[in-house]
Chains A and B, each alone.
Chain A
Amino acid sequence: MSMYARRSSRHVVDGQLELMPLMNVFVALIPMLLLSAVFIKISVIDLSAPPTAESDADRDNKPKLALAVTIKDDYFVVEGDRIQKRVIVRAQENAEEQLSGALGEIVAQYPDNHEIMIISQAKTKYEDIISVMDISRDAGLPSVSLLGAD
Chain B
Amino acid sequence: MSRRRNKRFDPRRGQAGITMTSLMDILTTLLLFVLKSFVIEGEAVTPVPGVTLPESTSLAVAQSAVVIAIFDDVVMMEGEVVATVSKASRSRDLFIEPLAARLEEAREKSLEIARLRGESEEEFMGKVSIQGDREIHFAILQRVMYTCSQSGFENIALAVIESSS
Contacts and interface: CB of A to CB of B under 8 A. Distances in A.
Contacts of B149: 49
Contacts, number: 136
A101 to B, nearest CB: 17
Interface in B22-55: 23-24, 27-28, 30-31, 34-35, 37-39, 44-45, 47, 53-55
B161 A41 contact: yes
Interface residues of B, number: 50
Interface stretch (A26-34, A73-81, A87-95): A26-34
Q: Does more than half of chain A's interface fall in helix, strand or loop, or is it mixed?
A: mixed
B34 A37 contact: yes
A138 interface: yes
Contacts of A45: 56, 58, 60, 157-158, 160
A79 to B, nearest CB: 19
Interface in B134-165: 134-139, 141-142, 145, 149, 154-162
Q: Which 9 A-B residue pairings sit nearest by Cβ, starting from the closest?
A: A44-B157, A127-B134, A122-B139, A120-B138, A33-B34, A37-B37, A124-B138, A41-B162, A130-B54
Interface of A: 16, 19, 22-23, 26-27, 29-30, 33-34, 36-47, 49, 120-127, 129-131, 133-134, 137-138, 146, 148
